Amino acid sequence: MSGRPLALGQARSALAEGRLSATALVQEALAAADASQDRIRAFAAIARQEALAAAAESDRRLATGTARPLEGLPIGVKDLIDTRGIETRYGSAAYVGNVPRADAAIVRTLVEQGAIVIGKTATHEFAWGVTTASSAFGSTLNPHDPRHIPGGSSGGAAAAIACGAVAAGLGTDTGGSVRIPAALCGVAGFKPTRGVLPTQGIFPLAPSLDHPGLLGAGVADIVLLAGALGIGLGEHAAAALRLGVIDAIAPVPLEDGVAADMADALALLGRVHACGAIDSAGLFDGAFQTFAGIVLAEGGMVHFGRSDWDFIAARYGAETVDRLRRARGVALGDYAHWQQERRRFAPRLERAMRDVDYLVLPTCPCAAPRVEQSSVTIGAWTGTEREALMTYTAPFNLAGFPAISIPLPARPGRLPTGLQLVGRPGDDGGLLRLALRVEALLAAG
């Protein structure tokens, strides 16, 4: 890994005070992005010419007193999200050479406030996977140990931040695709309440579950981008909050290392907040299966609505083709059943949070699996990577609740793990405020 980039707030201050130019900051980001490619392949495209032109404009604005709120700050944008004039392949060989004519809504908002897109960060094909592996372009690898996956599908964004190319970026989260790679790469990842950020200009995976999301080296980087997108911290929250602890989500247990990290973190949080286990018996029963069914059905609807089978079979990767082959067999009654199960789950989650302000649980039950590992074994449980990594994140996409992953303190010789905080719908600002405090508590030890 290379050095940690300047936090967005620090970079903004240095730019405003004239201690740093936007051109120098962007050149440093581009050099780090280039350097990362041979080792971890965090980027699908590096927008050198476009980024340097934008940096020159930022320097002009900084010199003339017309700087915008995010002036000159480099970011990465997931390859699933449209960027005007920059190739956007959606992680698929089928879309090589696709150059959008317009930015996605969330990109446009950030660019209009002065942020500079230095490149497109790698994604699993059409965001349909948790490893950010690609037979077409080369797999993205974990910056902490390239023998391991970075998580996905926003693995390129998490890897780009962890290796020091950028301090923050845009991702998407349908079942954990921001929070999982954040946890596995040791960065922060935020999925807001469903519908708070627009999905216009983002290639859909499962439209009723898709959430745009934000990643950052720290929570403050996410807060800065979130504020630019209209998600403020809101009013000051109570100093002591009630945190409902979920120790594990059946059937997937915790690795010993994750359990130990969580125990240490909860001991720290318990000094400031009331932490108590909530009764989650039966709460998550069937949630992962319901989520997986909806993704299969809606993924089929998206792709069969855009392309014929011959095109799919010839141009898509084998993993996606296999999933779409299975999607052809989904009946309308199956999809109706999964959506009904989803509607029953959200009220159950609301009732479980009746006596607490926020939930706290692991982001993932394990550290990053090895590259090309076909299954995960934790204790007596064995299952797919998808089930292992998404069981603790996907329920909050089903319900549309906001959630954020924060890195747990690093241990020598160990891969990163993450702590997840979950709030009620609409309480995005309160969740971010809590995340800042929790991050500080963990850092202070």
Give catalytic residues, as residue numbers: 78, 153, 177
Token duo for residue 240: 């002591």
- What is the spatial distance between Cα 327 and Cα 329, in angstroms, rounded to a whole number? 5
Q: How far apart are CA 406 and CA 106, in angstroms?
A: 23
Residues 293 and 10: their CA atoms lie apart, in Å, by 44
CA gap 408, 360 in Å, rounded? 13
Residues 11, 167 contacting (CB under 8 angstroms): yes
Q: Are 62 and 96 in contact (CB under 8 A)?
A: no
- Residue 160 near residue 169 (C-beta atoms within 8 A): yes
Residue 354 CB neighbour total at 10 angstroms: 8
Does residue 251 have a cis peptide bond before it, meaning omega lies within 30 degrees of 0?
A: yes
CB 9 within 8 A of CB 220: yes
- The contacts of residue 11 (CB under 8 Å, 6+ apart) are 5, 20, 25, 72, 73, 167
Phi, psi of 394 (to 5 degrees): -60, -35
